Homo-oligomer: A and B are copies of this chain.
Amino acid sequence: MNVLLTSVGRRAYLVDYFKEALGGSGKVVATNTIAETTGMFAADDAIVVPAAKDPAFVDSLLDVCQAHDVSLLCSLHDWEAPYIAASAQRFKEIGVCLVMPTLEIVNICLDKYKTFLFAERNGVRSPKTYLSEAATAEALLRGEVAFPLVLKPRWGQGSIGLRIVHGLAELASAYHSLNQEIKDGGFAHLADLDTSQIVIQECLIGQEYGVDIVNDLNGEFAACFIKKKLAMRAGETDSAITVEQPMIESLSRQVAAATRHPGNMDADFFVLENGEAVLLELNPRFGGGYPFSHLAGVNIPAALIAWCEGIAPSHDWLTMALDVNGFKDVRVVGVPSRDQ
């Protein structure tokens, strides 16, 4: 069987994991909006496709699936997820196992306000989140939150645009300037323009953990893999260690039961000083922290291929060694020559 990784970008390591999992019995095909990335170089076949917001995007992916006899599709970029999720039926019709949550769940993942409402609804603690200065002022009066507060683009990624404010005047000026920055910078191309582009959140301090929440392709919980983040660099995890964390595992199971996503969901949690675990963020795809799990013996690519073939995955692939400490290593590579 052949596997398609869409928006492969720089994730050459994932291409290699899938190649190893296939063991020569199929190809790894990659798509991306630009050809010159390490992920594209690593793939067996690399095809440039339009950007997600281009009306031709989904058709071009469907064409790639048919031309390359693709059985399994994993998307690696948040911003294309809604377009693929909205066309799930079309992929199913041509026999592609789509590793993508429903559109409803994708929209929850991408929208920090919906993530908060989703967490509350499912009994998972998450930072209190508001859409307006007025709603925040009321919550402050009720004693529901206190300064400092964090402002973020509602549909943003990582810590881009993040501001911390310590009082109402600062909140007003940060709200205004972030709003302007979002308008100028186009953070919010997935946004509903009729509503606030900004979330105002409780500022929680704690130890951060990254989690792979894995369901089978029917959305049944299979496993979760928890890594304590030891060092960050430029917004990405530079070093992490695999751990047991029963509180986070329990919340991850609750998330998995509510999302029923197929495959891997990337989640970020904090554990506060009082021991409470808090859900920070959900990404509807393999996260940048997956290689830390893979290093500890996990093999989600192999499990996905097995599920897609209707086979039970090996128990080993869904078992993580504890206390495995991984480090990001940076190398420079050239454009490889392709076999013709």
Contacts and interface: CB of A to CB of B under 8 A. Distances in A.
Nearest to A239: B36
A136 to B, nearest CB: 25
A291 interface: yes
Interface string A1-38: 00000000010110000000000000000000000111
Interface in A268-303: 291-292, 294-295
A334 B330 contact: no
Copies of this subunit: 2
Contact of A326 (B10, B324, B333): B333
Contacts of A38: 327-329
Given A36-B239, A239-B36, A334 B326 contact: yes
B325 A332 contact: no
A334 B324 contact: yes
Interface residues of A, number: 28
Contact of A334 (B235, B295, B334, B335): B295
A296 to B, nearest CB: 8
A142 interface: no
A32 to B, nearest CB: 13
B329 A12 contact: yes
Given A234-B234, A234-B235, A235-B234, A330 B13 contact: yes
A315 interface: no
Nearest to A235: B234
Nearest to A38: B329
Contact of A328 (B291, B325, B332): B332
A331 interface: yes
A12 B295 CA distance: 18
Interface string A307-340: 0000000000000000011111111111100000
A295 B335 CA distance: 10
Contacts of A41: 327
Contacts of A328: 10, 38, 330-332
Contacts of A326: 332-334
Contacts of A330: 10, 13, 328-330
B332 A291 contact: yes
A325 B235 CA distance: 26
28 contacts: A10-B327, A10-B329, A13-B331, A36-B239, A36-B325, A37-B327, A38-B327, A38-B329, A233-B234, A234-B234, A234-B235, A234-B236, A291-B331, A291-B332, A294-B332, A295-B332, A295-B333, A295-B334, A325-B335, A326-B333, A326-B334, A327-B333, A328-B331, A328-B332, A329-B330, A329-B332, A330-B330, A331-B331
